[in-house]
Structure 1
């Protein structure tokens, strides 16, 4: 039985995907305890054949390659969620990689505290060109918090976490967003989260900072404005649902507006 389903969306993957996949293959957790879904979206070849050959050459029976013509990370992740058989979900971007004992440690913590909360790891961010560390988060190892407002920063990203399928339930990523979909997904989950625990050992989700990544590409001000407006509209709808913490939703809405301001300033500097 697979306890963890790892979901890796990928679009026109480059050299970095092999380090990502190698890090998952090399996990200390027994391979019988996790499955991996690689969701290739958009252009199919030569990427599909290359990944397929990698899986066959390494005899990776617990890895599954799925192709969808529809582009978008949200759709790809949703496909993975619909196929997942594990009790817990781990999202990994194709240009990032995991420490060797990542899955084993995250699973150990969630089994300790129960499947009505989430486990979070620290992030180590490194520069793609130099390979040097840029910064890392400093969540207190072994800590546990029941008030999501105090841990609101961890809701900005779906990666670096182990999410019980029970917490996700029927919630899916909103496909109309190309930016901010992670945070919206995590905020929608918040009503089912009873605690947030930090891994008890020093394990990292290693995040590659690429200038040409979708999240870092320059975007037109009009797009930024319209995307932010639609995100705020989605958050505001949650305010009218009794199951959500209203102050938390407002705090995340302010974070979205702050993000819009930062993007505007960055565009101005590039002129």
Structure 2
């Protein structure tokens, strides 16, 4: 470890792994000094820290925080970041509403304390501008490269204890914010940002908007350093598979065949079969008439609903790992083996795979932290699920997968997308036992828009400004279908539907 101690955006001193000052020629800016250290110590992890927090550096755990070379982690002692929360007006990602007391995936970075591998810095040194503003540089680097495979975190364990803010965070000005948006998002979003300021804050940001026109979009092709985590996340290669099913006997049989052909077999396959008909019995005769190379735990229930079914299955887990599967998936014989290899290499606790229908095109081709979560194509360490279940408030609605993924992240479990592990989703027709579901708001004169279950997830997991952004985007998407002579009537009805959605979301 090499430590770079700074104050007021100026480098003060460089410390060696024993926290002893070492002779080093400080450059003109903090960012340039960081790159200079990376060249001088190409095999080290470089830790930056404001002088005010130097005594709290948690040096004993740094090797576990930076357990492979593709990690950028920092921690903001206060609740503020350099990038103000106004960014929520144009960014609906899960990475903005940071939970401060756990390891949380985010590209929002802080100069208070943090670290990065020298090897990674050297890999981008030739085509990434070393901005004079250190906070801008950190956030720009993380925002640009996170989608390409740099693992970025807010990490409270960088400090030995929770300390009170000593240093005041100087946030980006409106001009810097607009330039940041222009450099890291599609150009249209600077206009959306300006519109949100006008609509929601009654402020006209004309000068920042105009100055952003001269800002070029930042592009950086980042090549991942080889993953070789030192974290041990697998002690036994044992896994249970969860499958909720309803009226898809043939498809489920094919899934079991794929599981039986695995090079690493599951220990238990937990099947939750649903049929709402009062006198119905199981149709899955092949569970007992065929010999399977794993134990099948079969539960038959008259209560329908995927949230309930998956929760029943989660209560029956025995193995170290869990595969959240579906009854209309297909995959090759190396699926579980490939997942265990990735888990070992990355040192992570949750992985989600490619999940496309047969003729869909793969769009994201690099391993990266993802804001999505799939309950039919994800693998999780069972110990992470002690306090997590599918939210029954979202049964028969939308958003239960997203909510489950956010519960994981809020417990400090990152979700990694692996583009080279594929599960094909057949998207089979609904089984024949489903009954019509009546929602609480079905009889209302004003039907909520968006769905109250979607609103529920936004209220629970997003910032207020992200919610306002969603409202504006939804409004613009819907009004395009309206006649210009109907705009005022549409606006009034939209507001009523929005308020109805909030009402029922809070009821949920």
TM-score normalised by L of structure 1: 0.69
Name the residue aligned to 1:40. Answer: 273
SS at match of 1:166: helix
**Which one of 385, 388, 410 corresponds to residue 171 of structure 1?**
388
Does structure 1 residue 203 correspond to structure 2 residue 421?
A: yes
Map 1:183-222 → 2, pairs under 5 A: 183-199=402-418, 202-212=420-430
Question: Residues 120-165 of structure 1: CA distance to partner in whole angstroms, max 9, x if unpaired?
Answer: 2112303xxxxxx2x0434335x243xxxxx22x23x222221122
Q: Higher relative contact order at CA 8 Å, sep ≥6: structure 1 or structure 2? A: 1
State the match for 1:120 in structure 2: 352
Once the 2 structures are TM-superposed, how far is the Cα of residue 38 of structure 1 from its aligned partner? 0.7
Offset of residue 182 of structure 1: 1.6
* Contiguous gaps of at least 5 residues in structure 2: 1-235, 482-508
Q: Count matched residues.
A: 230
CA contact (8 A) 2:255 2:330 kept: yes
Q: Report what 2:263 is aligned to.
A: 28
Among 215, 220, 232, which residue is 2:455 paired with?
232
Deviation at 1:83, TM superposition (A): 0.5
Q: Indicate if the aligned counterparts of 2:237 and 2:340 stay in contact, CA closer than 8 A.
A: no
Correspondence for 2:343: 110
Task: Map 1:95-106 to 2 at 5 A.
Answer: 95-106=328-339
Report the CA distance between 1:233 and its aligned residue: 2.7
User: 1:68-106 CA distances to partner (integer Å, 9 max, x unpaired)?
Assistant: 221111111001101001222211111222222111111
Matched, 1:15 2:247: no
Q: Shift in Å at residue 2 of structure 1?
A: 6.6
CA contact (8 A) 1:121 1:204 kept: yes
**Distance in 1 of aligned mates of 2:324 and 2:300:** 17
Higher helix share: 1
In the alignment, what sits opposite 1:66? 299
Could you say which residue in structure 2 is the equivalent of 1:243? none
Residue-by-residue CA offset, 1:214-251 (whole Å, 9 max, x unaligned): 9xxx9999758478224323441345xxxxxx49x948
After superposition, the Cα gap between the structure-2 partners of 1:194 and 1:37, relative to the gap in structure 1 and judged at 3 Å, is closer
Cα distance, 1:111–1:254 mapped onto 2, change above 3 Å: farther
Deviation at 1:55, TM superposition (A): 4.0
Structure 1 residues 254 and 106: CA distance shift in structure 2, 3 A: farther
**Under a length normalisation based on structure 2, what TM-score does the superposition of the two structures give?**
0.39
Q: 1:175 to 1:144 in 2, by over 3 A?
A: same
Deviation, 1:6, is 0.7
Task: State the structure with more CA Rg.
Answer: 2
Residue 5 (1) aligns with residue 5 (2):
no
The whole-number CA distance in structure 2 between the counterparts of 1:124 and 1:233 is: 27
Cα drift, residue 11 of structure 1: 1.2
Tell me, in whole angstroms, the C-alpha distance in 2 between the residues paired with 1:213 and 1:226. Answer: 28
Quote the residue 2:327 is aligned against: 94
Indicate conservation of the 8 Å contact 1:52/1:65, yes or no.
no
* Structure 1: tracts of 5 or more residues without a match: 127-132, 146-150, 240-245, 266-271
* Aligned counterparts of 1:47 and 1:96: Cα–Cα separation in 2: 24
Cα offset for 1:211?
5.0
> Are the aligned partners of 1:121 and 1:199 in contact in 2 as well (CA < 8 Å)?
yes
Task: Classify the secondary structure of the residue corresponding to 2:357.
Answer: strand
CA RMSD, 1 decimal: 3.7
